[in-house]
Amino acid sequence: MSLQLNHPTLLKQAGCLLAGQWVAADSGETFAVTNPANGEIITQVPMMGRAETERAVVAAQAAQKSWKALTAKLRSAYLERWFDLIMLHQEDLAKLLTAEQGKPLAEARGEVAYGASFIEWFGEEAKRVYGEVIPSPMNDRRLLVIKQPIGVTAAITPWNFPIAMITRKAAPALAAGCTMIIKPAEQTPLSAFALGVLAEEAGIPAGVLQIITGDAREIGAVLCESPIVTKLSFTGSTEVGRILMRQCADTIKKLSLELGGNAPFIVFDDADLDAAVEGAMISKFRNAGQTCVCANRLFVQDGIFDAFAKKLSAKVSQLKVGEGTLAEVTQGPLIDDAAIEKVESHIADAVAKGASLIQGGKRHALGGTFFEPTVLADVSPSAMIFREETFGPVAPLFRFKTDDEVIELANRTEFGLAAYFFSRDIGRIWRVAEALEYGMVGVNTGMISNEVAPFGGVKQSGLGREGSHHGIDEYLEIKYVCMAGI
């Protein structure tokens, strides 16, 4: 194993973090974590299930009593220490992330900093959970609102952002006074464990943050069905989101769901062409196209279509595909074979329906799950790629003529996460921003995520918001106190 870390204990091999101990599965079973760039096994992690999850829930409940009793200032101090340690070990965390997920090291470093920013932000927000005094309609009464932690919470997270998707959930939970059990994706548990090691080093007490790997269905079933767990936050596919929502119905659990997207990226004739191409590169090709906010459908107005297609293809041809550890690489492997098959099927279907392939289009000569960054022109709205999230490095260009036409096309989807458009007409900017049925809209930019802004979708892209001052509300309950006899 060639992973050289300055702080070797960050690579946890033997156990999950349960009730302050690193423990093996009851059965002793493990599963392999592999490097998607070369298929090598990095390490084995525990294959846990129902029994271990039930114990984690009990431990989380016990820990929550004292965690919520701390002052917000003290919880904030724990989070600040955790943030500092993550940034201190940014390079090691980035190496681990690249090893198990595949993204280029520069992107991995960026994700570590992005992930840490949620801990810093919510550490600060912990101190600003204000209540209200409501002017009373009766002289002898005083009406108050206080906010309290929702209790024991759980997070089920995906492989595409193995650090940030955990911290975006765990930081507000801990800041609010909740405890959290985290089930990371099977492909990327090592980043999660490393966060757990640093949380321990920051002094975060046993049971406040627990990390469990293994059988997703069994672990998920316990987390959803337990009446002790009062909140579940999930990021991943819409299909699994639906299953979890159904499973949470019996306990009427509070849910945050961050599900699939089908982002439109619109370039109007009056756009700054270079800025639009830059925006498309970052929005489409970040993490090899494997983000839920990636541009999935690029709509380009007739008058600028050919120039945009040419410039974008030229930029795409300069992307360097390879192992994420190599300095010059800008696109790593896709996560697995299923991902590459989906990309291939979307391209084949688009071409069969009349699209022309103007860049890339096939598996990369490196083999494995490396894929050539691809551009398709004149794609038909009847193509599969119009309806489904590709989650890969394919930019399909659709031609349009009018504003009304493109707004209708952009909204013709059950998803509503992120949308982007480029224009320099202030009237059009307002009209289009308001007409797009999406939770987030980037205007003249392809990059919208940061810790101070509310991240989340409408329609079937999910429920709730993460990040920003709204993010902590997902982990708080409102209590109304009516005081009579004044």
Ligand X SMILES: O=C(O)CCCC(=O)O
Ligand Y SMILES: NC(=O)C1=CN([C@@H]2O[C@H](COP(=O)(O)OP(=O)(O)OC[C@H]3O[C@@H](n4cnc5c(N)ncnc54)[C@H](OP(=O)(O)O)[C@@H]3O)[C@@H](O)[C@H]2O)C=CC1
Q: Which residues are catalytic?
A: 258
Torsional sign, CA 267, 272, 275, 277 = positive
Between 177 and 467, name the residue whose CB sits nearer to ligand X: 467
How far apart are the C-alpha atoms of 350 and 301, rounded to whole Å? 19
Which of ligand X, ligand Y, none binds 449 (CB below 5-8 Å, type-dependent)?
ligand X
- Is 185 a residue that touches ligand Y (CB under 6 A)? yes
* Identity at 141, one-letter amino acid code: R
- Is 391 a residue that touches ligand Y (CB under 6 A)? yes
- Is 259 a residue that touches ligand Y (CB under 6 A)? yes
How far apart are the C-alpha atoms of 222 and 53, rounded to whole Å? 7
Which of ligand X, ligand Y, none binds 210 (CB below 5-8 Å, type-dependent)?
none
Torsional sign, CA 40, 43, 47, 53 = negative
CB of 294 to ligand X, least distance (A): 8
Return the residue of 230, 235, 313, 374 that touches ligand X, per CB under 6 A.
Answer: 235
**Collapsed DSSP state (helix, strand, coil) of residue 114:** helix
C-alpha distances (whole Å) from 123 to each of 67, 291, 378 are: 14, 26, 48
- Number of residues that make up the chain: 486
- Is 233 a residue that touches ligand Y (CB under 6 A)? no
State the CB neighbour count (10 A cutoff) for residue 314.
12
Which of ligand Y, ligand X, none binds 400 (CB below 5-8 Å, type-dependent)?
none
What number of chain residues touch ligand X (CB under 6 A)?
10
- Is 292 a residue that touches ligand X (CB under 6 A)? yes
Which residues ranging from 131 to 170 are in contact with ligand Y (CB under 6 A)?
A: 156-160
Per 3-state DSSP, the chain is made up of helix, strand and coil in percentages (nearest 5) of 40, 20, 35
CB of 192 to ligand X, least distance (A): 15
- Is 160 a residue that touches ligand X (CB under 6 A)? yes
- Is 258 a residue that touches ligand Y (CB under 6 A)? yes
Bridge partners, residue 182, by sequence: 155, 211
How far apart are the C-alpha atoms of 284 and 394, rounded to whole Å? 8
Q: Count Cβ neighbours within 10 Å for each residue of 344-361 and write b for 16 or more, e otherwise.
A: bebbebbeeeebeebbbb
- Is 217 a residue that touches ligand Y (CB under 6 A)? yes
- Is 111 a residue that touches ligand Y (CB under 6 A)? no
- Is 449 a residue that touches ligand X (CB under 6 A)? yes
- Is 82 a residue that touches ligand X (CB under 6 A)? no
Strand order in the sheet with 152-156: 21-23, 16-18, 209-211, 179-183, 152-156, 229-235, 254-258, 462-463
Q: Please identify the residue of the shown chain whose CB is closest to the bound ligand X.
A: 449
- Is 49 a residue that touches ligand Y (CB under 6 A)? no
Which residues ranging from 190 to 209 are in contact with ligand X (CB under 6 A)?
A: none
Tokens standing for residue 74: 């003290």
- Is 340 a residue that touches ligand Y (CB under 6 A)? no
Which of ligand Y, ligand X, none binds 216 (CB below 5-8 Å, type-dependent)?
ligand Y
- Is 463 a residue that touches ligand X (CB under 6 A)? no
Between 294 and 377, name the residue whose CB sits nearer to ligand X: 294
Give the residue from 397, 389, 400, 471 showing the smallest Cα distance to 432: 400
Which of ligand X, ligand Y, none binds 186 (CB below 5-8 Å, type-dependent)?
ligand Y
Q: Interface residues with ligand Y (CB under 6 A)?
A: 156-160, 183, 185-186, 216-217, 220, 235-237, 240, 243, 258-260, 292, 389, 391
Q: Interface residues with ligand X (CB under 6 A)?
A: 160-161, 164, 235, 258, 291-293, 449, 455
